[in-house]
Chain A
Amino acid sequence: MSEPILQVRDLRVEYATPAGPAQAVGGVSFDLAKGEFLAIVGESGCGKSTLLFAVAQLLTYPGRLAGGEVLFDGVDFTTLKPEELRLHRWRDISVVMQSAMNALNPTLTIGAQLTDACKAHTEWSDEKIAQRSAEVLAMVAIDAVHLKSYPFQLSGGMRQRAMIAMALLLEPKLVIMDEPTSALDVVAQRSLMHQVETLRHQLGFAVIFVTHDMSVVSHYSDRLAVMYAGEIVELGPTREVFDRPEHPYSQGLMEAFPSLLGESKQLTGIAGNPPSLVDPPEGCLFAPRCAYANDECRSVRPELIAYGNHQVRCHLVARTRKNDA
């Protein structure tokens, strides 16, 4: 892998709840190369948004960073003061939130929101701002006439593209996207993904893309991380994880997607529910739902173990791999 732009080390996040602290992110580590597209998939509640918030240092009460480092270009974001972080936001990292409807201000035109963002982070002249605003909208195929439009005047797909345009205003090195396509229909979803890919190749930014629907990213991301109950359980090149998932949870997830054009077969899904984050099971967090779980699985929490460029958090995979070696 080329020089990592982002190194996340043993990141932990807790939410204070009446029942006690809930560990929403429990020791997540990964590297992201310059210009790389990393997809993070997992079911709702597994901690995807919390992880992104922690990486971008946007956590608010009752969430709290309980440990770990977020090294961006070697600078540990977790140690920076708010005003120091401000210098990195938008220029180095920008975030595209789950719902453009909530993230865009409904009372301001798209142009005014782009202008506000520029004014907050640059000393640009009004002409420069106008020019750059039109430029980023053009990148996402939105006509500059929409600088004067309010969010409600745009279709869902256009709003989501406008959000991405805004994220690209100051040419960040990393764009973090939290389910940007979930509210869209499949055609708009596909065209948005296509656009993100084209821009990434043109501009060279890295992407962390979170989704609960991994079919969305299956053809776009370089690497895929599968999250379960706040942990990464599998991480590897996207095609490899899809074609040969190692972790029983990833295997179950792949088996939960009916194919549109491939083989037509009876599927089963995964029985049971994710564990409590306040009072998690002692061993592997997936053990209660895992068909292969044994005593070790139920008593010892497995580590994320690397094989070549693939990582898996599973005792059984670890043992068979050791025997193979």
Chain B
Amino acid sequence: MPDAILRVQDLTRLFRVGGFRTRGQLHAIDEVSFEVASGEIVALVGESGSGKSTIARVLAGLYPATSGSFVFEGKAMGRREVRASRGDMPMVFQDPFGSINPVLRVGHALLRSLKLHRPDIKRADRFAEAVALVEKVGLTPGEEVLRRYPHELSGGQRQRLGFAQALASRPSLILADEPVSMLDVSIRIGLLNVMKELRDNEGVSILYITHDLASARYVADRMIVLYAGRIAEEGLTTEVIGSPQHPYTRLLMSSAPDPHLAPTAFEGDDLGEPPKVINPGPGCRFAPRCPLAMDQCVVTTPPMVALSATHHAACYAVKP
């Protein structure tokens, strides 16, 4: 990818878990590699525990990687650089009620971010810039919104505000960790539309983290499917949705009911849930649930197979 703004290479994060006798290493993410180009929305899709938030937190510098690295806007990010650059990739969180200081007016945090990140804007112009920011995410009239208190905003309005806040530093990439999961369905779509508008009008890239394939299809240019800390499949949204290759992607797709269509067949014999990956052995982590598993699958970890220039799946059963 020529104009990649983010290149992630073999990113791994382990957590020590368990007590004295049962101590182990939990592999939250394991050798994850991907890229994000300028001006695109990439969806990171997976069930809970698959490692989505861990990826976002490592990228945001909230905690370091155990191994692996990433290059953001041409700068290699080792442990030390990440600390210094915290905030380069701002994050929007799932909980619209958790991330905002309740006693300060909405405008306060936004003006402070502008002061911090945008020294080019004169003090007198800051308020106008803040108004422009909240209006970009559909909060109008901006002046009035900035004077409100957080409790006067609905969940959807707070999540919009989260994006405005993220935009304040004029980032090239926003990490959005399940930004719509706690919102009601009728409000979700408005926020997904905001994400598309930010991409189209502001040229900002978004790493959209979700467990909802249909919303990923709606906003994302490309999709990365995670299973148990590893990438199972990635490709253009049209490729992954139109011709899913990894058996896990297929299971996910056949499980997601589409109210717009007639029911699909579901064998109903998969009661499995993703494993917690503690002291893993070799092999594919989906193999115990996989209808196509072969001997090889439990012996060595399947490498990424290229299905097209943009479509890859980590599966021995997939033929290029």
Contact = CB atoms under 8 A, between A and B. Distances in A.
Contacts of B215: 258
A214 B259 contact: yes
B258 A261 contact: yes
A96 to B, nearest CB: 18
Given A186-B255, A190-B266, A191-B270, A253 B185 contact: yes
Interface in B89-106: none
Contacts of A270: 186-187
Given A218-B259, A262-B258, A187 B251 contact: yes
Indicate the member of B47, B185, B188, B268 with the most A CB atoms within 10 Å. B185
A258 B195 CA distance: 15
A181 to B, nearest CB: 11
A156 B49 CA distance: 12
Contacts of A187: 47, 251-252, 255, 270, 272-273
Interface residues of B, number: 39
Interface string A241-277: 0100000000011101111111110111111010000
Given A44-B184, A187-B251, A257-B260, A267 B218 contact: yes
Contacts of B217: 258-260, 264
Nearest to A46: B184
A313 B272 CA distance: 42
Nearest to B257: A215
B304 interface: no
Given A187-B273, A260-B217, A198 B261 contact: no
Interface string B189-229: 11011000000000000000001111101100000000000
B299 interface: no
| Most chain B Cβ neighbours within 10 Å, of A215, A216, A261, A268 | A261
B241 interface: yes
A139 interface: no
B259 A257 contact: yes
Interface string B242-258: 00000000011111111
A194 interface: yes
Contacts of B254: 190
Contacts of B213: 186, 260
A185 B268 contact: no
B320 interface: no
B98 to A, nearest CB: 17
Contacts of B241: 260-261
B296 interface: no
B273 A218 contact: no
A185 B186 contact: no
A263 B241 CA distance: 12
B154 interface: yes
B260 A186 contact: no
A213 interface: yes
B186 A269 contact: yes
Contacts of A216: 257
A57 interface: no
Contacts of B258: 215, 218, 259-262
Given A213-B185, A258-B192, A260-B217, 6 more contacts: A43-B185, A155-B273, A157-B273, A190-B266, A191-B268, A267-B193
Interface of B: 47-48, 154, 184-190, 192-193, 211-215, 217-218, 241, 251-261, 263, 266, 268, 270-274
29 contacts: A43-B184, A43-B185, A44-B184, A156-B273, A157-B271, A185-B48, A186-B252, A187-B47, A187-B270, A189-B255, A191-B255, A194-B266, A194-B268, A212-B184, A214-B185, A214-B259, A215-B256, A215-B257, A216-B257, A219-B259, A242-B259, A252-B186, A256-B185, A256-B186, A256-B189, A260-B217, A263-B260, A267-B189, A269-B187
